[in-house]
Amino acid sequence: MLATLKVNNRNHTIDLSKPLDISIPMKGNASNVNAWYIGHPRIEPHTEGDFVGAVAQGAAVNFNDIWFNPHSHVTHTECLGHITEEFNSVNKNLMQYFFYAEVVTIAPEKLNGDFVISKKQLHYAFGNKKRDAVIIRTLPNLRDKFSRQYSKTNPPYVTEDAAKFLVEKGVEHLLIDLPSIDKERDGGELLAHRAFWGLGSKIRNQATITEFIYVPNSIVDGTYFLNLQVAPFENDASPSRPVLYENIVEE
């Protein structure tokens, strides 16, 4: 099924029957991806008295309880409520779901003992394009990103200048295959988050950050349309399913 979207007065056609899912699913065991020093997610039959919510154990239906943290366990999209005292819900702040997007691949570089994604690297990969969203795939890009245990490993992160560069280019939605765009332990500075959401300058309520994605190697760098849907949780962050569509026709 084809759909036509208009960007900058040009028609772009996408094939809705060919989605490219870049989310990481959640499993209820220790093989699930994890970060931020907490236990693995759990998906277990609800129990109450003699009732066990599993058909295999005699129930009429499967009736599971799920315990997880969106920041630690699954592809998630967050809004500025992640770092503000006042409550902000990603469910209320994200009101559009299709975006003109660019996929870029970057090998984080060494800086002061850390690996980072720098402004120079983003400028080289993204250039002066005008896009609503940027999807960053980091190298190496191995399938262990589905199960990696990130706690206490000091993963790569985005520098403050790199985040400011994206803001200058008008990017409102940043997606990355890491647990955070900031350093694992930075004393609570959260410089990239603060810069991307405009704290201390012009607040960008509509902007979102999506972490823990996975972009398969079969998806080449370039321009796509992004469908970004979140579960309707009234929370600063929610599990999400970002899906790309190739731009097949321009008129």
Cα separation values, 197 from 34, 65, 84, 164, 174, Å: 25, 34, 10, 9, 11
Q: What is the pLDDT of residue 250?
A: 53
Predicted confidence (pLDDT) at residue 30 exceeds the cutoff of 60: yes
Domain that holds residue 46: 26-69
DSSP 33: -
- Indicate if 218 and 232 belong to the same structural domain: yes
Q: What is the pLDDT of residue 8?
A: 77
- Indicate if 189 and 147 belong to the same structural domain: yes
Choice among 2-11, 28-37, 64-73 with the minimum mean pLDDT: 2-11
DSSP 186: S
Domain boundary (40, 69, 98) is at: 69
Residues in a beta bridge with 67: 42
- Indicate if 38 and 95 belong to the same structural domain: no
- Indicate if 44 and 140 belong to the same structural domain: no
Predicted confidence (pLDDT) at residue 249 exceeds the cutoff of 70: no
- Indicate if 132 and 235 belong to the same structural domain: yes
Separation CA 196–CA 213 (nearest Å): 18
What confidence tier does 200 reach under pLDDT thresholds 50, 70, 90?
Answer: confident
Q: What is the pLDDT of residue 12?
A: 86
Cα separation values, 220 from 137, 145, 209, 216, 224, Å: 10, 18, 22, 9, 10
How many domains in the chain?
A: 2
As a whole number, mean pLDDT of residues 12-36 equals 96
- Indicate if 81 and 191 belong to the same structural domain: yes
Q: What is the pLDDT of residue 19?
A: 97
- Indicate if 108 and 212 belong to the same structural domain: yes
Separation CA 87–CA 219 (nearest Å): 36
- Indicate if 215 and 167 belong to the same structural domain: yes
- Indicate if 159 and 142 belong to the same structural domain: yes
- Indicate if 41 and 133 belong to the same structural domain: no
Percent of the chain with pLDDT over 70: 99
Q: pLDDT by residue (tens digit) across 134-168?
A: 999 999 999 999 999 999 999 999 999 999 999 99
- Indicate if 97 and 149 belong to the same structural domain: yes
Q: pLDDT by residue (tens digit) across 170-186?
A: 999 999 999 999 999 99
- Indicate if 184 and 81 belong to the same structural domain: yes
CATH number at residue 94: 3.50.30.50
As a whole number, mean pLDDT of residues 54-72 equals 97
